[in-house]
Amino acid sequence: MPITRLEQLYKIVKDEPSKRLAVACGEDPHTIEAVARAVTEGLVNVTMTGDENKIKEVSKKYNIDPSIFEIIHEPDKKKATKLAVSLIRERKADFLMKGLVDTAIYMRAILDKETGLIKPGRLLSHVTIMDVETYPKLLIGIDVAVIISPTLEQKVQMINYATDVAHTLGIENPKVAILAAVEKVNEKMPATVDAAILSQMNRRKQIKGCTVDGPLAFDLAVSKYSKEIKGVDSEVAGDADILVFPDIEAGNILYKSVVHLAKGSLAAIVVGADVPCILTSRGDSELAKFYSIALAAKVAERRS
C-alpha cells in the first residue's frame, strides 16, 4: 500500500532498523530538537559535527540530554561540514543532514570532486514531499531549492529521481504532472514545449516507471473538478503524485504557500548524491526536519 501521509511514513520507518545520521553543524534548536526526537523514537543513531559547547548549550536549553548524540568538536563550519561528509564516505553514516551552516557551504562539500558525495555526470536535485489535508495523498515536488531553471535533459533526470522516491513510498506508477501556466502547447512558453516533449518521451518508454502528462496548469494537476470543467482527457489530471515545476521560483512559492497558508507539513531531501542529503530551509519547523529525517532514512534503506 502506498504511503499517503508523512505521519504514516514516520511510523513505518520507526519499525525498521535504525539508520546512522551525520549532522553537519548541528547547533540550531530546530535541528537538535528534530534529531533528538528521531533518536528517542529509534529512527537513527546520530553523529553531530560542530561546536560542542554550542550543541550542548542549546540541547540543555531545550531540555535535551546531549549525551544521546556523538559529538565531534569542530567549531569551523566548513571543516565541520567536511567532517560530516567524510563520515558518509567512510561508511560510518548512512545519510547527511544540514544544521546551522550556509546552504552554499553544505552543497559545496557534497559536490567536491575529491572529497564529496557525487559521481561524475550526476545531477543534484531537491525533492519536497508535501502533505496537505485537502489533498488525499502526498505530493512530491521537484525542484524548489537547487536547480534554478532546469533544461529538458535535467527535467528527465528530475522525473527519474522523483519517480524513485515515489516508488520508495510504495507508489508503483506515480502520475507526473509537468506544470505550466496553461494546458496547451505555446511556443512562446518554453515550459509548455518541454512538457509536451516529456509526455511523448514517457509514451515511448524513454522515461519509465511513471505516467507523465503536460503541460498542466496547477489546478488541473490536482483538482478533479478542474479536470471535469475543462474537459481534459488526462490520466494525470486531478490525481498527480509528482509535480515538476518550470523553475525554482514556481516551486519555492508553492511549497512555502503549502506550509504558511495551507498549514501543510513537508519533508525535503537532496537526491543524486551517493546518499540522501537533508536540506530544509532555516525557517522550516522542527516537525519538517523530523519528517525529513524519516524520509531520508527510508530512501537510504532503498539504496542500501
What does the pLDDT read at residue 46?
97
- Dump the DSSP string for 162-190: HHHHHHHTT-SS-EEEEE-SSSS--TTSH
The per-residue pLDDT for 121 is 86
Nearest to 268 by CA among 136, 134, 126: 126
Q: What is the CATH number of domain 6-121+273-303?
A: 3.40.50.10950
A 10 A CB-CB count for 101 gives: 22
125-260: CATH topology is Isopropylmalate Dehydrogenase (3.40.718)
pLDDT digits (tens, 9 = 90+) for 15-49: 999 999 999 999 999 999 999 999 999 999 999 99
Cell output for 291: 519528517
Tell me the pTM. 0.94
Residue 303's pLDDT is 56
Stated as kind and residue range, the H or E segment containing 46 is strand 44-50
What's the alpha-carbon Rg for the chain, to the nearest Å?
19
CB atoms within 10 A of CB 16: 12
User: Is the confidence at residue 281, as pLDDT, over 90?
Assistant: no
pLDDT tens per residue, range 181-219: 999 999 999 999 999 999 999 999 999 999 999 999 999
Reduced to 3 states (helix: H, G, I; strand: E, B; else coil), residue 24 is: strand
User: What pLDDT, in 10s, does the model give residues 56-73?
Assistant: 999 999 999 999 999 999
Residue linked to cell 485537502: 134
* pLDDT given at position 163: 98
pLDDT at 280: 84
Report domain extents, the chain. 6-121+273-303, 125-260
